[in-house]
Amino acid sequence: MEAQPIRVATVNDEVYARLHKAITSGALLPGMKLTIRSIADSFQVSTMPVRDALRRLEACGLVVFGRRSVTVTLLSPDEVEQVFQIRLRLEQLAAEWAIARVGPHDLDELERILADMDEPGLSADQWRALNQRFHLRFYEASESDHLLRLIRDVWSKVEPYMAIYASRVDDFSESQQQHRFMLDLIRRGDLSGLLVATAHHLDYTAKTVVSALEERLASS
Amino acid sequence: MEAQPIRVATVNDEVYARLHKAITSGALLPGMKLTIRSIADSFQVSTMPVRDALRRLEACGLVVFGRRSVTVTLLSPDEVEQVFQIRLRLEQLAAEWAIARVGPHDLDELERILADMDEPGLSADQWRALNQRFHLRFYEASESDHLLRLIRDVWSKVEPYMAIYASRVDDFSESQQQHRFMLDLIRRGDLSGLLVATAHHLDYTAKTVVSALEERLASS
DNA sequence: CGACGCTGTATGTGATCACAAATCACACCT
DNA sequence: AGGTGTGATTTGTGATCACATACAGCGTCG
């Protein structure tokens, strides 16, 4: 139980959190133009915290500052694929570190998350949240805040597109099967097996997301 | 010749660039407390662009916002080592992509940079700049802005400590020898050899930097 | 002599205002 | 009818002001 310094919620952080969620959940679609003033008005705050929040989102790569505009980052299918490749390398490293330090308590929690994901009738958002929690929860065992933060940021970049994918598909059994297989490898401490499984899992996800994205682009 | 959109220099960007350089070059030491107002005064601008710039630096991990203070990020030797490990994975991926697309023009420029590094009487800052340019110039051939930006950011995190190291050592021949070896592998398209060499090179650098850092900590 | 508590200052946060430039619209010219 | 130039509006940028609170310095008490 490492005590994080208590951060009293500042408006800045709140705006950042809401915008981050809005973008990654797909509520604000990639390519959409944002205006600082409208956001400020809708949140009933001044433009200042919105500016700060957008700056931080810019550094995460979620928005892009133009000459006179702020737009939600729009990735081409090719870029999405690149980001997935980057994610893979980072997550493989995290897996290496995590598998060596994972404890029984961690395993229990991972198991519980998977159980939650088996629950029928999950919304796409709920499934995405649980899916992310499963992976990140495991990587937390790596005990590297730097790596974890990096993975989170890179994850965020492709999250909007996973939201698109998840909203069109209602069968996650294949993905869930892979999760169980990976958890089993983690339990047995099979690192090389886990690395392969992770690559396979991410490739599978990437292919699905990218093809869904290309299909959407072609139809427009 | 891909045309970058013309960014007229805003005060914000200028402040960001200066602070970034000040931190990575070691002029602002890790752990140092910053005050928005003093920075604004010294740059003869208002506090506003400084705030924006610091927010962006925060997202890059170069500064940390406390409750009532902004401090330059201070990394423990252990954290520095972690970041080097992350760098390695990212740079190996970049090497994979770059070695397949590198062209004669790129090779010429890399050669020229190495020649510049052979120049005797280089200051520590100059050597660091050239060293970074050599590696990043190669990775530019990967043609992935996302990966490149990520590497740049992660690099920045350990740059201050490389500055400490570089200021204490005046013999870079070992490092330079590794560079020449790597460039030769690039020329011959020997990917697996390059991956090993990259790992060796970064491990060597990390060990040197970390031990210099620990030595400095022990003596204080 | 040291620890605790209070007060004053310093400083990040948020709001409001002013400005310049980019964008859009409409009208005009070719 | 299509392209172009001009004006109005939008909108990000930067400055200044007000405020609440963390932090330091000092005094007092045990």
Report the 10 Å Cβ neighbour count for A157.
23
Q: What is the rounded CA–CA span in Å between residue B49 and residue B97?
A: 37
> What per-residue confidence (pLDDT) applies to B2?
47
Sheet containing B33-34: give its strands across: B33-34, B70-72, B63-65
More confident residue, A140 or B67: A140
DSSP-derived secondary structure letter, A8:
-
Q: Which of A160-174, A184-198, B178-192 has the lowest mean pLDDT?
A: A160-174
* CA-to-C1' span, A46 to D10 (A): 17
User: Is residue A8 pLDDT above 80, yes or no?
Assistant: no
How many contiguous H segments (helices) and E segments (strands) does chain A have? 9, 3
CA A91 to chain centre: 12
Confidence of residue B119 (pLDDT cuts 50, 70, 90): confident
Nucleic acid strand C: bases within 7 A of protein CB? 10-17, 21-23
Q: Average pLDDT over chain B, rounded to whole?
A: 92
Which of B5, B55, B90 is closest, CB to CB, to A55?
Answer: B55
Helix, strand, or coil (residue B171): coil
Residues B151/B133, Cβ–Cβ less than 8 Å: no
| Residues contacting residue B111 through CB under 8 Å, at least 6 positions apart | B183
Q: What is the rounded CA–CA span in Å between residue B65 and residue B86?
A: 24
* CA-to-C1' span, B66 to C2 (A): 30
- Which residue(s) pair with B64 in the sheet? B71
Chain B residues closer than 8 Å to A149 by CB = 61
* CA-to-C1' span, B61 to D9 (A): 39
> What per-residue confidence (pLDDT) applies to B103?
96
Nucleotide C12: closest residue by CA–C1': B68
Q: Quick check: B154 and A150 CB within 8 A?
A: yes
Give the E-state strand segments of A15-132 in sequence order.
Answer: 33-34, 63-65, 70-72
What does the CA dihedral B101, B103, B107, B108 come to, rounded to 10 degrees?
Answer: -160
Whole-prediction pTM value? 0.93
- What pLDDT, in 10s, does the model give residues B129-180? 999 999 999 999 999 999 999 999 999 999 999 988 777 666 678 889 999 9
First to last CA, chain A: 50
| Section B60-84 average pLDDT | 95
First to last CA, chain B: 51
Taking the stretch 134-153 of protein chain B, residues with Cβ within 7 Å of any atom in nucleic acid chain D are: none
> What per-residue confidence (pLDDT) applies to B175?
87
User: Is residue B98 pLDDT above 60, yes or no?
Assistant: yes
Q: What is the rounded CA–CA span in Å between residue B44 and residue B145?
A: 33
Chain A residues contacting B via beta carbons under 8 Å? 5, 7-8, 51-52, 55-56, 58-61, 66-67, 79, 82-83, 85-86, 89-90, 92-93, 144, 146-147, 149-150, 154, 157
Q: What is the rounded CA–CA span in Å between residue B18 and residue B110?
A: 27
Q: What is the rounded CA–CA span in Å between residue B143 and residue B214?
A: 37
Confidence of residue B122 (pLDDT cuts 50, 70, 90): confident
Q: Quick check: A86 and B55 CB within 8 A?
A: no
User: Is residue A2 pLDDT above 50, yes or no?
Assistant: no
> What per-residue confidence (pLDDT) applies to A216?
84
Q: What is the rounded CA–CA span in Å between residue B148 and residue B93?
A: 10
Q: Quick check: A86 and B90 CB within 8 A?
A: yes
Q: Quick check: A157 and B146 CB within 8 A?
A: yes
Which candidate in A89, A97, A151 is best for mutational testing of the B interface (most B CBs within 10 A)? A89
User: Is residue A74 pLDDT above 80, yes or no?
Assistant: yes
Chain A residues closer than 8 Å to B157 by CB = 146
CA distance A60 to chain B (A): 7
CA distance A118 to chain B (A): 34
Helix, strand, or coil (residue B101): helix
Q: Which residue type sits at B189?
A: G
Residues B34/B22, Cβ–Cβ less than 8 Å: no
| Section B106-121 average pLDDT | 94
Q: Tell if A34 CB is < 7 Å from nucleic strand D.
A: yes
State phi, psi for B33 to the nearest 5 degrees. -85, 135
Q: Tell if B69 CB is < 7 Å from nucleic strand D.
A: yes
* CA-to-C1' span, A46 to C16 (A): 9
Per-residue burial over A201-212, b if 16 or more Cβ lie within 10 Å, else e, is bbeebbebbbeb
- In the block, residue with structure tokens 């040197």: B208
Nucleotide C14: closest residue by CA–C1': A48
Which candidate in B56, B145, B146 is best for mutational testing of the A interface (most A CBs within 10 A)? B146
- Which residue(s) pair with B63 in the sheet? B72
CA distance A96 to chain B (A): 12
Exposed, middle or buried by CB within 10 Å (0-12, 13-18, 19+), for B159? buried
Nucleotide nearest to B46 (CA to C1'): D15
State phi, psi for A72 to the nearest 5 degrees. -70, 130
* CA-to-C1' span, B131 to C23 (A): 43
